[in-house]
Amino acid sequence: MSRRWLLLAVAALVLAACSPKLTPVTSGVDAQPATTAAPASPLPPIDPSTVEEVVEGVLPAVVNVRSDIGAGRSPEGTGFVIDPSGVVVTNYHVVEGAFGIRVVMNDGRRLEARAIGGDSAADLAVLKVDARELPTVPLGDSDQLHLGQDVVALGFALGLEGGPSVTTGVVSGLGRTIEAGGQGVETRTYEDIIQTDAAINPGNSGGPLVDLAGRVVGINTAGVGAGAAENIGFAIAINRARPIIDHAVEDPEGPAPLLGVSTQTLTPAVVAQNGLSVDAGALVLRLAQDGPADGAGIEVGDVIVAVAGQEVTGNASLQERLLEHEPEETVDVTVVRGTETVTVQVTLGVRPLPIEP
């Protein structure tokens, strides 16, 4: 993980606590909002293992991700293999701007990788290496997490030699929203974030946060130093990442549709605070200037309740509905504006891959 992203992660927490420049918010990000989609089939209940047993099972699938960004610089991060054919998940910022990507397996193999999908706004990249029968780690269900639950973080912290580091802790917060950026760097909003006291340091980014059944429940994305706060790290909830991962696997290098909005799932508190006339949907907080939604007449304050006639109940279902369509396709988007229901036609844009393949 680069020094820049460490500083951004520190700033995200410190300023969120004590500065108006960077405060926790309740917004989503563009048309790739936080997802709470459950796995296709119910997961078996957790049969708790010891941390040692969890690490033994997960470690072979944890990889070191090294990005060539020129000038002799090769920042490092972590990833994990989710498919034996060589699909690797990591953070977007680990590979951002890279001219080349190399994945180092736990057994020492060095494999060239390319991006097949991802979303910068979700800090997620999906990579592919040319290999077969790789060890994998299963995905869990972050909706089932609860405060105080034991978790284990694995990753190549600080780029230390000798393999990944292992830290343990508990889930100390759920549903966090943080912003990172500023000072000439694009500000990004990360939503549906898990907070944990398992130590997450530079180099951990992109690594798995697993439960005691050895299932990935989060993707480590930001650590903070003791100078800013004690025992706080962040991870992307795996249910938020799942549709993005699935899309990349099903349609490698395929463009994803772009609506051009930042949204928030309605809750009773959000409904009351904004005086809304509906109790389910995705509240539009921001519009990409001259983006598809902006050009079609969608406004900040609208509540998206349907896409192409299919109900939208929040950020997750908005994401799912959009991925049912192709870029450049024109779809009906139904919004509630005040007490009026309005349907507009939106020609979806194209969300670029995190890096050029």
Stretch 109-135: mean pLDDT: 88
Active-site residue, selected from the candidate residues 30, 119, 123, 302: 123
Residue 3: pLDDT over 70: no
Full domain range(s) for residue 304: 256-350
The number of domains in the chain is 2
In the residue annotation, 67 being an active-site residue is answered as no
Residue 255: pLDDT over 80: no
Tokens of 329: 């396709």
* pLDDT value of residue 192: 81
Tens digit of each residue's pLDDT (9 = 90 or more) over 21-73: 323 333 333 333 333 334 444 455 445 568 889 999 999 999 999 887 655 56
| Structure-model confidence comparison of residues 185 and 130, the more confident one | 130
186 plus 43 within the same structural domain:
yes
Residue 181: pLDDT over 70: no
In the residue annotation, 93 being an active-site residue is answered as yes
* pLDDT value of residue 89: 95
224 plus 273 within the same structural domain:
no
288 plus 213 within the same structural domain:
no
In the residue annotation, 146 being an active-site residue is answered as no
From 253, 282, 303, the end of a domain falls on: 253
Stretch 165-192: mean pLDDT: 75
Stretch 102-121: mean pLDDT: 87
Stretch 4-17: mean pLDDT: 36
* pLDDT value of residue 22: 28
Residue 335: pLDDT over 50: yes
For the CA atoms of the chain, what is the radius of gyration?
20
| Structure-model confidence comparison of residues 185 and 190, the more confident one | 190
Tens digit of each residue's pLDDT (9 = 90 or more) over 70-91: 555 666 889 999 999 999 999 9
Active-site residue, selected from the candidate residues 205, 262, 294, 302: 205
174 plus 69 within the same structural domain:
yes
Task: Tell me the H-state helices in the chain.
Answer: 3-18, 51-58, 92-95, 238-250, 268-274, 292-296, 315-322
* pLDDT value of residue 112: 87
Q: 238-250 vs 315-322: helix axis angle to the nearest 10?
A: 0
User: Quick check: is 356 in a domain?
Assistant: no
From 209, 226, 253, the end of a domain falls on: 253
- Residue 315: left if φ>0, alpha if ψ -120 to 50, beta else—which one? alpha
Residue 327: pLDDT over 70: yes
270 plus 228 within the same structural domain:
no
* pLDDT value of residue 231: 73
* pLDDT value of residue 115: 85
Mean confidence (pLDDT) of the chain: 79
Active-site residue, selected from the candidate residues 93, 119, 294, 302: 93
* Residues 321 and 310 sit within 8 Å (Cβ to Cβ): yes
